Copies of this chain bind each other. A is one copy, B any other.
Amino acid sequence: MQHTLDWVIRHAGKIYRNDEAIVDGDIRYTFGQFEERVNRLAQALLTAGVGYRDRVAVLMNNSHRYLELHFAVPCVGAIIVPVNTRLAPAEMQYIIEDSGAKLLIVDEINSRAGTALGSLVTRVIKAPEEYESLVGAAANIALPGPRSENDAAGLYYTGGTTGPSKGVVITHRNHMAHADMVASGMAYAAGKPTLYVFPLFHLGAICGIYDATWRGCKQVFVGPMDPGLLLETIEKERIHHTAMVPTLINFMINHPDLARRDLSSLKYMAHGAAPIAPDLCRRAVAALKCKFVQAYGMSEACGIVTLLHDEQDLLDTEKVRSAGRATAGAEVKICRTDGSLADTREIGEILLRSPAVMVGYWNKPKETAEVLQDDWYRSGDMGYLDEEQYLYVVDRNKDMIISGGENVYSVEVEAALATHPAVFECAVVGIPDAKWGEAVHAVVVKTPGQEASEAELIAHCRRSIAGYKCPKSVHFQVEALPKSALGKILKRDIRAPYWVGQGRNVG
């Protein structure tokens, strides 16, 4: 028995046939219509010559069409390659070439970038016009499905917070297993609308769509990331569940419309990438009066690995700094550099395994062998487990600073800096230092209307963390820190200029 993604859309199309499935601007589709459009799109892809294991690249902003592609492409046995719309042209070109994509599907907003990539593929399909005419002309025939549940469904290129981008190969079974693993945690259910905010080119968002569809959950799209529009949409569509970055939550709860919007339908606010600051969480809980859930994971694990439930009840406990516990189906362990198991609360590398973990990186056997060993995935993240198996992520391995032989976790230093009112956002990185090997360096964006000097911020840190962990230098900048699509600060980009010609793998 092969359990593949066509089961998900077929189940939803049958069981929830007349229930609302999609809301995207003026467009509203039932699950019956959603399934029919996916069926037609799949036939159109077959007609366009898409064959078994062919790669289909997609360069689009969020829309119901993107959702349809996430079903139709894998369900004809092909492989979807979502392209991050924020990348530079050379980075996009790398992904198209590395994946060997045959087809590119591009929307109007990204048409300029799409045109530049056109010569690299056999064919470009433009949304919405060309896309719609192909779907309209195709027959409504049930999805063929892939040949095996172990066939690749997608290549999801790593966000690039460390090292060069690699194509994470996720199979149908990986997706199905992930959808089951998070099912109880994320509470997707029929009659409980979800709002998509994260971009559908990232597994952090994609991993939710299969589960949401399977459980018959209405899926609502918004256009621009406007906090006022988000509030309006939550009220209008009676949104039950959403996920966004802490920054956006912050904007939303400080928006003048907050008081006049009825947000009583909202029961779950999920967020990922980084722990939410307790103070922000406290204010957000007071404003939104719902459950807060933190997710920790990565593309290599098809999305979520651990969940921290009910953060709103943990604000005054140590647990609020954790990423929660492994979901049913996933297993987490902490290892020392020699591979032995770390003790409780001992910091080491985070390893994990589950049926959702990728089969490897696309055409990169060496890189795959480095991270996949005996079914365990080496995340490169540093952390520890407490007595109750709560996971604390202390840093990315590559973001850890080794100064005078001591390990300094950049995240800890950032947390100390962030408690100063003048610090709006900050990043701490290691920079070359003749004496210490690496020196702790902070890059800070100041809160509008607030002031602080370098010396003052360093002194502020000294009050809460050990001297060797405190920044030796602080750089103030006006522009926002560079971030990944999910809002993770790109420390690689911050670190790089300091290491030019110095030989560190700035990763």
Contacts and interface: CB of A to CB of B under 8 A. Distances in A.
Say which size band chain A's interface belongs to. Answer: 20 to 34
Contact of A328 (B11, B326, B353): B11
Nearest to A187: B184
Contact of A183 (B7, B180, B326, B331): B180
Interface in A426-479: none
Interface in A197-224: 214-215
Interface in A222-240: none
Nearest to A353: B1
Contacts of A329: 3, 7, 11, 180
Given A7-B331, A180-B183, A184-B215, A326 B1 contact: no
Interface string A171-190: 00000010010011000010
A240 to B, nearest CB: 14
A267 to B, nearest CB: 15
A1 B375 contact: yes
Interface string A379-406: 0000000001100000000000000000
A386 to B, nearest CB: 11
Interface in A1-23: 1, 3, 7, 10-11, 14-15, 17-18
B328 A214 contact: yes
A325 interface: yes
Contact of A15 (B1, B15, B326, B355): B326
Nearest to A375: B1
Contacts of A14: 326, 389
A388 B14 CA distance: 8
Interface string A41-57: 00000000000000000
A293 interface: no
A300 to B, nearest CB: 13
A18 to B, nearest CB: 7
A451 B275 CA distance: 71
A354 interface: yes
A357 interface: yes
Contacts of A353: 1
B355 A3 contact: yes
A285 B338 CA distance: 59
A20 to B, nearest CB: 15
A10 B388 CA distance: 14
Given A184-B189, A355-B3, A388 B17 contact: yes
Contact of A3 (B10, B11, B177, B184): B177
B17 A389 contact: yes
Contacts of A388: 15, 17-18
B3 A328 contact: no
A464 B354 CA distance: 55
Contacts of A215: 184, 328
Nearest to A8: B328
Contacts of A328: 11, 183, 214-215
Contacts of A3: 177, 329, 355
Contacts of A18: 388
A241 to B, nearest CB: 14
Contact of A389 (B15, B326, B357): B15
Contacts of A355: 1, 3
A325 B216 CA distance: 13
Which of A15, A214, A353, A354 has the most B CB atoms < 10 Å from its CB?
A15
Interface in A350-369: 353-355, 357
A17 B388 CA distance: 7
Nearest to A19: B388
Contacts of A177: 3
A151 to B, nearest CB: 15
Given A189-B184, A215-B184, A325 B15 contact: yes
Contacts of A357: 1
Given A10-B331, A11-B331, A215-B328, 7 more contacts: A1-B353, A3-B177, A3-B329, A3-B355, A14-B326, A183-B183, A184-B189
8 contacts: A1-B353, A1-B375, A3-B329, A10-B331, A17-B388, A18-B388, A180-B180, A180-B329
Ranked nearest first, the 7 interchain pairs of A and B with the lowest CB-CB distance are: A180-B180, A3-B355, A214-B328, A1-B355, A15-B389, A14-B389, A15-B325
